[in-house]
Amino acid sequence: MRTKNLLAALVGLGLATGCKDLNVPNLNSPALDDLLTNPTRSKIATAATGLLIGTRAGIAAQNGYVSLLGIVGRESYNFDPADPRFVTEMMVGPLDGGSPAFGGNLWGLPYRNILNANVVLAATDRVPAVTNAEKEAVRGFAKTIEAFDLLKVIVTRDANGAAIDVGIDLTAPPAPIVTKAAVFARIVQLLDEAQTHLQAASATFPFPLPAGFAGFSTPGTFLQFNRALRARAAVYTDDFAGALTALGASFIDTTKSLNLGVYYDYSTVSGDETNALFDPNARAILAHPSFNADAQLQTSGQKDDRFLRKIDTLSAPKSAQGLTSDLQFVIYNAVDAPIPIIRNEELILLRAEANVGLNTAGSLAAAVTDLNTVRVKSGKLPVYAGAVTQAALLDELLYNKRYSLMFEGGHRWIDLRHYSRLNTLPQDPTSGGASKRFSKFPFPGFECDARSPAPAGCATETGF
C-alpha cells in the first residue's frame, strides 16, 4: 500500500512538472508569430515602418532592380571585374532563372515584402489600443506598399504572370501563377482598397515615415502617392481615362519641382542601407553610350540638359568583354542619395502618355503641353516642334521618359516593351556575341522546383 502511495506521489509530481509550460520565446529577435498573435501598438508601428525597408530591398544593389533593368533597357553597363555575368547573362543571355543574383531577387524580395504587408494587415485586425481610424491608416499604407511590390514583380515577369493569392501561411502550397492581366487587376484592386482605407483614416499615421516620404507622410497626402501609383498602373494597362482620373487625385503639379515625389531612403546609420549605385570611380556601373548619341540639342547647341546633368564623361573610356563606354552616371552622388519611387516629372509624362493614348485632338494638344513642360524645365530644350500625331508624339514621349527617368528603375525597358519597341534596343557586340533583347525574366529556379508541372515562365529567356 505504502509503495502504491509513493508511486502515485511520484507520478503526481511528474504530471505536475509536466503541466509546466515549456515554451521559450525567441530571445535573439522578435518572432513573426508573436506579431501575429500578440500584436501591440508599437509592434505594428515598427512592422509598418519595416514595409519601407522591405520594399527598398534589392533596389540599389549592383545586381538589383535599377541596375539590372538598366542593363536590359540599354541604359547602363556593369563591368564588375568579379562577375562577368553582368554581360554574359544579362546582355547575351539566356536569362537563367536558377541564379538568385541575376533576376531571382527581383522576384523573391518583393514577395518577401508582400508577406510583411500581409502580416501587418493580419496583425492590425487584432491589435488592441489602436483606434479604427488608425487601423484604416495602417491598412491603407500596407495595401499601397503591397500593390507597389506586386507592380515591381509583374514589370520584370510581364507575360509570364505572377502569383497574387499569397498569404501568411508559410506551409500552404505556393499560390498559383496567374496572368499579367490578373496581376494588374489585383494591383488596381489593392490600390483602390487602400484609397478607401486612407479616406477613412486618422489624420496622422500611428508610425513614423522617413524623409523620402516628406510631404506624403499623412494618410491624406499619402493618398496622393497611392493615386500616382494607380496612374502608373493604369498607363501600363492602357487604361488612359483611368490614368487621368488617378492623376487628378495625385500630386501632379506643373508649377512645382519636377523632383517632388516619394523616394527610397538610404543612410549610413548602423543597420541602414547605403545606395550602392553611387559609384564615384565608375568601378562597375557605366552609362550606355547611346545616351550621348541620342540626346537632343538645346538651342545653344549643347546636349539635352538631362544628359549633361545626369551623366559625366570619363577622361578615359572603360572596357570589358568587348563593350566600351566613357559615360558615368552622376544621378546618385552620395552613399545616402535617395532613389525616386515616383515623382512629379513622371506624373506629368504619364499624363502626356495617357493623352497620347486617348488620341483625340484635344488630348494630343494637352500632351504637347505637358511634354513641353518637361522639355523646357528638365531638358532646357526648345518646345516641341514636330507633328502632332499619335505616332510622332509617342516617339517624343518615349524620348522624354528615357531621359527624364534615366536609371531610376527600368522605365525605358518597361516602356519599350509596352509599345513593342524592344527591337529598337541596340545589339551591342560583346566578346561573347551580340547582345540580345529580353522582354521578361524567367521565374527563379526555386519557384519552379516548388511547382509541378513547372509553369511556362520557368523556361530560360533566350531573347532576340
Partner 1 sequence: MVQRIVLVSLALAAAVGAPRAWAQQRQITGRVTNATSGEAVARANVSVQGTAISAVTSDQGEFSLAGPEGNARLLVRHIGFRRREIAVPSSQGRVEVTLEPDVFNLEAVVVTGLATGVERRNAGNAVATVSAAELGFVPTPSLEQQLQGKIAGADIQQNGGAPGGGLQVRLRGVTSINATAEPLYVVDGVIVSDVAIPSNQNAVTAAAGGSNPSLNQDAQVNRIADLNPSDFESIEILRGASAGAIYGQKASNGVVIIKTKRGQAGVSQVGFTQRFGFSEISNTVGSRVFRDTTDAFGAFAPVVPRDTATRRLIRGLCALPNGACPFFDLERELAGLRPLSFESGASVSGGTENTQYFASGTVKDDGGIIQNTGFKRQALRLNLDQRLGSRVRASLNTSYMHTLAQRGLSNNDNTGTSFYVVLSATPSFVNLGIQPGDTFARNPFVPSNPVQTAALMKNNEDVYRFIGGANLQWDAVQSAGHYLRFITLGGADYFNQDNALFFPPELQFEPNDGLPGTSLLTNSGSLNLNLNTSAVHTYTPSSNAFSATTSLGVQYGWRRLDISRITSRNLTAGQENVDAGTNIVIGPERRERIKDLGFFAQEEFLASDQRLLLTAGIRADQSSLNADPNKLHYFPKASASYRFLKPKSFVDELKIRGAYGESGNEPAYGQRFTSLRATSKVGGLPGTVAGDTTGAPDLGPEREREIEAGFDATLWSGRGNLEVTGYQKNVSDLLLPRQLAPVQGVNTLIANGGKLRTRGLEVTLGLIPVQQSDLSWIFRTTFSLNRSVITDLAGLPLFRAGGFGASLGQFRVEKGASATQIVGNDTLTAADVASTTYDYLGAADTTGTVVVRKIGDANPDFRMAFTNDFRWKHFDLHVLLDWQHGGSILNLTRLLYDFGQVTADYAVPLRDTVVVPTSDTTADTLRTVGQKRIYGFGKVAKNFVESATFLKLREVTLTYTLPPSAMTSFWRGARYVRLSASARNLFTIAPFTGLDPEVSNFGNQPIARNIDVTPFPPSRSFWFSIDLGL
Q: Which of residues 92-121 bind partner 1 (CB under 8 A)?
A: 104, 107-108, 111-116, 119
161 contacts: CB under 8 Å, gap ≥ 6: 154, 177, 178, 179, 180, 182, 183, 455, 457
User: By C-beta, is 109 or 416 nearer to partner 1?
Assistant: 109
- Residue selected from 129, 391, 450, 456 as contacting partner 1 according to rule CB under 8 A: 450
Smallest gap from Cβ 202 to partner 1, in A, equals: 19
432, exposed or middle or buried, with CB in 10 Å at 0-12, 13-18, 19+? middle
The residue with cell 502617392 is 225
Q: By CB under 8 A, is residue 210 in contact with partner 1? A: yes
User: By C-beta, is 380 or 451 nearer to partner 1?
Assistant: 451
What letter represents residue 28's amino acid?
Answer: N
Residues 144-173 that bind partner 1 (CB under 8 A): 162-163, 166, 170-172
User: By C-beta, is 75 or 146 nearer to partner 1?
Assistant: 146
453, exposed or middle or buried, with CB in 10 Å at 0-12, 13-18, 19+? exposed
Smallest gap from Cβ 416 to partner 1, in A, equals: 27
Q: Per-residue DSSP letters for 293-309?
A: HH--B-TTS-B-HHHHH
User: By C-beta, is 289 or 340 nearer to partner 1?
Assistant: 340
Smallest gap from Cβ 191 to partner 1, in A, equals: 20
- Residue selected from 102, 156, 447, 461 as contacting partner 1 according to rule CB under 8 A: 447
Smallest gap from Cβ 10 to partner 1, in A, equals: 5
Nearest to 145 by CA among 212, 232, 226, 45: 226
Residues 261-280 that bind partner 1 (CB under 8 A): 265-267, 269-273
**Residue span binding partner 1 (CB under 8 A) among the ranges 6-14, 217-225, 286-294, 319-327:** 6-14
Q: By CB under 8 A, is residue 306 in contact with partner 1? A: no
Residues 27-86 that bind partner 1 (CB under 8 A): 27-33, 35, 43, 46-54, 56-57
What is the total count of residues that contact partner 1 (CB under 8 A)? 73
318, exposed or middle or buried, with CB in 10 Å at 0-12, 13-18, 19+? middle
Q: Per-residue DSSP letters for 203-271?
A: SS-SS---GGGTT--SHHHHHHHHHHHHHHHHHHTT-HHHHHHHHHTTT--TTS-TT-EEEE----STT
What gap in Å lies between CA 128 and CA 132, rounded to an integer?
A: 10
User: By C-beta, is 157 or 351 nearer to partner 1?
Assistant: 157
Smallest gap from Cβ 86 to partner 1, in A, equals: 20
Nearest to 233 by CA among 194, 282, 206: 194
Q: By CB under 8 A, is residue 453 in contact with partner 1? A: no
Residues 119-138 that bind partner 1 (CB under 8 A): 119
Smallest gap from Cβ 154 to partner 1, in A, equals: 13
Residues 178-197 that bind partner 1 (CB under 8 A): none
Q: In what order do the strands lie in the sheet with 76-78?
A: 76-78, 285-287, 323-329, 311-320
Smallest gap from Cβ 443 to partner 1, in A, equals: 9
Reading the block at residue 191, the C-alpha cell is 490600390
**Residue span binding partner 1 (CB under 8 A) among the ranges 192-200, 283-291, 294-302, 445-453:** 445-453
Smallest gap from Cβ 269 to partner 1, in A, equals: 5
User: By C-beta, is 48 or 201 nearer to partner 1?
Assistant: 48
User: By C-beta, is 79 or 332 nearer to partner 1?
Assistant: 332
Are 403 and 290 in contact, with CB atoms under 8 Å apart? no
Dihedral of the alpha carbons of 361, 366, 367, 369, in degrees to the nearest 10: 130
- Residue selected from 129, 159, 203, 211 as contacting partner 1 according to rule CB under 8 A: 211
User: By C-beta, is 50 or 426 nearer to partner 1?
Assistant: 50
User: By C-beta, is 21 or 255 nearer to partner 1?
Assistant: 21
What gap in Å lies between CA 248 and CA 301, rounded to an integer?
A: 36
Q: By CB under 8 A, is residue 6 in contact with partner 1? A: yes
Q: By CB under 8 A, is residue 1 in contact with partner 1? A: no
**In DSSP terms, which residues pair with 324 in a beta bridge?**
319
User: By C-beta, is 130 or 235 nearer to partner 1?
Assistant: 130
User: By C-beta, is 190 or 231 nearer to partner 1?
Assistant: 190
Residues found in the chain: 464
User: By C-beta, is 25 or 362 nearer to partner 1?
Assistant: 25
Reading the block at residue 449, the C-alpha cell is 522546383
Whether a cis peptide bond, with omega within 30° of 0, leads into 176 is no
Q: By CB under 8 A, is residue 22 in contact with partner 1? A: yes
Task: For 338, list phi and psi in degrees, rounded to 5.
Answer: -75, 155
